[in-house]
Amino acid sequence: MNRILPMRRIAAACLSSFVLLAGVASAQSTFIGSLADWAANPIQTSGDKQFTYLTQSGSWSNAELFTISSNIPLDSHSLSIDALSAYIGPYTLSVGYELLITSTDNYFQSMSLDVNASGTATLITKDIFATFDAFSTGTAPGSGTWSLTLINSSSGSTVSLPPIQTIWVRDTITADATGSILGISNTVVQLPEPGMLAPAAIGMGLGVWGGRRRRRAATTAARFATGRRNTGGKLG
């Protein structure tokens, strides 16, 4: 009987094992503080993610709280802006930053915008740029290489990104006197470089498969030895 599994079955089994093993890790958070705190310490890191403060506009009061959260099993990373309910409309605020992956083996897959707001006049625009020059010149909301806009919304929106490792982001937050924004979350999802996951998965699968073969061989040897003892050293 041929005990060698087809490579496709090994890879499939390994991918499942890879996901299960990754799930052992837990989420982690980094509290930045207010926008003034971030400006004073512009480079914030979380794993292989680096968030660098670049620009701001509007009358930020430092009541806000910036937090970076990472969900390691899902490879998702969020920059949240909370405590915005302290701001009374009308107002327009913006913050710009660079987000890059320091590992050469990963790239961005998507970015999403989620808003917790109430009232009838709120507008949040996320502009994502592929170059710093485009970020520097595209200051008008909606001028990004990719843009997400939520109007009077407490929901989310997502845009797919090409396999790049650096993006520049500007969030523009607007509310009139009747609108109230509680918080905003910017979530980016990354994936391994194309071609990296399959070999790693196959390697892990081969390791798992090899371990199973060794255990089966050990069990067979033990049964054989037991049989010889029970028959006085004679089998068959």
Does 1 fall in a domain?
no
193 or 101: which leads in pLDDT: 101
Q: Where are the alpha helices (DSSP H) in the chain?
A: 7-22, 35-40, 132-137, 197-230
Residues 6+ apart with CB under 8 A from 70: 27, 28, 29, 46, 47, 49, 76, 77, 78
| In-domain check, residue 134 | yes
pLDDT of residue 148 exceeding 90: yes
% the chain with pLDDT above 70: 70
The predicted pLDDT at position 229 comes to 53
Show Cβ contacts of residue 192 under 8 Å, excluding neighbours closer than 6 positions: 105, 106, 107, 200
Q: Let me know if residue 203 belongs to a domain.
A: no
Q: What angle do CA 216, 219, 225 make, to 5 degrees?
A: 140
Asked, for residue 13, whether it belongs to a domain, the answer is: no
CATH code of 140's domain: 2.60.120
- The residues, ordered by sequence, that sit 6+ positions from 83 with a Cβ below 8 Å of its Cβ are 63, 64, 65, 183
Vertex 37 angle, CA 145 and 30, to 5° = 75
Question: Range of 35's domain?
Answer: 26-192
Per DSSP, helices labelled H in 72-196 are 132-137
Can you tell me whether residue 21 is helix, strand or coil? Answer: helix
Q: Is residue 17 part of a domain?
A: no
Q: How many domains does the chain have?
A: 1
Contacts of 136 (CB under 8 A, 6+ apart): none
Q: Give the pLDDT band of residue 8 (cuts 50, 70, 90).
A: very low
What pLDDT is recorded for position 139? 94
